[in-house]
């Protein structure tokens, strides 16, 4: 029993090492090298200017973690997992998400105890930028950081955007606006699934300008503004995906009230979030995401009942929650 218990504790304690193996291999281009054909550690080290010793140790660890497959001749190939999610340019690549986690999120998590002690964002400690007034001033503290954050978030929707948007049939909503929709990947999916609807994205001016510069979303229009202060466009359906989890309850209700006022009669709001199980005890993935929200934003993940109550305070009712499977759930409330 003691041996087993020790093993469990050490596996938990060393969890960060496994994350770092993944992050380092991604950053150093190991999976991209393996995608060009079977390769050995010396070749990767030579090509990328790495130490042969370190590269060998890193690739061995990757193989043990299921991220590379080691051949009998010392060569390595990608596994199905790394081919799908870790190679640049793969349709399901989560490269930007992982690089963001490896950089900013990892640094913020280094201050988890401080975050719990103080109950607030740890941006100031982690990167030297205060996030008290507006978490997004810190999240978007440089152009590179804004770009990595936004591109990372978009990657999720290649995986589950269609599922989330078909959980409820949205075809009856003629005008759909994705509020806080970032660079428009989810909106683009909505435009593809519901060709009879006009789809737009409303986000901060800098995010919109960058999305337009990068040629985002055919079939989607963009509008820049502040969803707490600017005039919102009228719509039949507002989508709020991973927005409420950034904010405290009072700000969420304020935003939902603004959306309700801008909704056309018969309109609705589609909330897309990772919803905690009733009572809030799980799933683990969502509880950990909630701690990330503590460290990087003013929000947290919530149960369906908590979303229902906030929506009701904003005058939105007929709450329905559906879990399509996968990382995100869909909830609909009506004006």
Ligand X SMILES: C[S@@+](CC[C@H](N)C(=O)[O-])C[C@H]1O[C@@H](n2cnc3c(N)ncnc32)[C@H](O)[C@@H]1O
Task: Read off the DSSP letter of residue 297.
Answer: S
Q: How far apart are CA 116 and CA 111, in angstroms?
A: 9
The contact mask relative to ligand X for 52-91 (x = CB under 6 A, - = no) is: ----------------------------------------
Q: Tell whether residue 222 is a contact of ligand X (CB under 6 A).
A: no
CB of 132 to ligand X, least distance (A): 15
CB of 242 to ligand X, least distance (A): 4
Indicate which single residue of 35, 58, 243, 263 sits in contact with ligand X (rule: CB under 6 A): 243
DSSP state at residue 71: -
Distance CA 36, CA 28 (A): 15
Per CB under 6 A, does 191 bind ligand X?
no
Q: How many residues bind ligand X (CB under 6 A)?
A: 16
Q: Which of 27, 47, 143, 226 binds ligand X (CB under 6 A)?
A: 226
Name the residue nearer to ligand X (CB basis): 30 or 240: 240
Residue 302 in the binding site for ligand X (CB under 6 A): no
CB of 220 to ligand X, least distance (A): 13
The count of residues in the chain is: 335
**Binder among 182, 217, 267, 299 for ligand X (CB under 6 A):** 182
Question: What is the rounded distance in angstroms from the CA atom of residue 125 to the CA atom of residue 50?
Answer: 31
* Sequence-separated (6 or more) residues with CB below 8 Å from residue 307: 244, 271, 273, 275, 319, 321, 331
| Binder among 31, 76, 136, 222 for ligand X (CB under 6 A) | 136
The distance of closest approach from Cβ of residue 208 to ligand X in the complex, given in angstroms and rounded to an integer, is: 9
Token pair for 49: 């200017």
152: contact with ligand X by CB under 6 A: no
* DSSP reduced 3-state for 90: coil
Min. distance of Cβ 4 from ligand X in angstroms?
39
In whole angstroms, what is the distance from residue 30 CA to residue 234 CA? 48
Report residue 85 as tokens.
Answer: 């999610």
Is residue 181 part of the contact set for ligand X (CB under 6 A)?
Answer: yes
Check residue 95 for interaction with ligand X (CB under 6 A). no
203 contacts ligand X (rule: CB under 6 A): yes
Burial annotation 209-239 (CB, 10 A radius, 16+ → b, else e): ebbbeeebbeebbbbbbebeeeebeebbbbb
Q: Which residues pair with 200 in a beta bridge?
A: 177, 221
Report the SS3 class of residue 165: helix
Can residue 269 be called a binding residue for ligand X (CB under 6 A)? Answer: no
For residue 204, state whether it binds ligand X (rule: CB under 6 A).
yes
Give the chain's largest Cα–Cα span: 67
Q: Which is nearer to ligand X, 83 or 158 (CB)?
A: 158
Residue 190, both tokens? 């909505």
Which are the catalytic amino acids? 245
Output the smallest distance, CB 140 to ligand X, in A.
7
Q: Which residues bind ligand X (CB under 6 A)?
A: 136, 153, 180-182, 186, 203-204, 207, 226-228, 241-243, 246
């Amino acid at each position: 029993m003691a041996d087993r218990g020790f093993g469990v504790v050490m596996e938990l304690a060393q969890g960060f090492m496994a994350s770092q193996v993944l992050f380092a291999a991604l950053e150093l281009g190991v999976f991209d090298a393996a995608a060009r054909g079977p390769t050995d550690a010396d070749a990767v080290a030579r090509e990328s200017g790495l130490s042969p010793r370190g590269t060998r140790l890193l690739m061995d660890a990757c193989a043990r973690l299921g991220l590379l497959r080691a051949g009998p001749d010392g060569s390595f190939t990608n596994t199905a997992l790394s081919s799908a999610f870790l190679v640049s340019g793969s349709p399901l690549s989560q490269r930007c998400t992982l690089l963001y986690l490896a950089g900013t999120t990892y640094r913020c998590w280094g201050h988890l105890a401080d975050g719990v002690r103080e109950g607030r964002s740890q941006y100031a400690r982690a990167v030297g930028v205060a996030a008290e007034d507006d978490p997004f001033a810190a999240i978007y503290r440089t152009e590179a950081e804004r770009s990595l954050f936004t591109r990372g978030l978009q990657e999720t929707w290649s995986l589950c955007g269609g599922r989330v948007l078909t959980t409820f049939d949205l075809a009856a909503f003629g005008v759909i606006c994705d509020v806080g929709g970032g660079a428009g990947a989810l909106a683009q999916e909505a435009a593809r699934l519901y060709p009879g609807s006009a789809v737009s994205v409303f986000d901060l001016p800098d995010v919109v300008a960058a999305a337009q510069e990068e040629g985002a979303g055919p079939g989607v229009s963009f509008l820049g503004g502040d969803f707490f202060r600017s005039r919102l466009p009228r719509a039949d359906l507002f989508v709020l995906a991973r927005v409420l989890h950034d904010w405290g309850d009072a700000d969420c209700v304020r935003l939902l009230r603004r959306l309700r006022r801008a909704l056309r009669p018969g309109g609705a709001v589609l909330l897309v979030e990772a919803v905690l199980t009733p009572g809030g005890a799980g799933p683990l993935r969502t509880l950990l995401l909630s701690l990330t929200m503590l460290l990087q934003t003013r929000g947290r993940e919530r149960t369906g009942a908590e979303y229902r109550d906030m929506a009701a305070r904003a005058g939105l009712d007929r709450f329905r929650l559906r879990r399509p499977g996968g990382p995100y759930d869909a909830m609909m409330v009506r004006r």
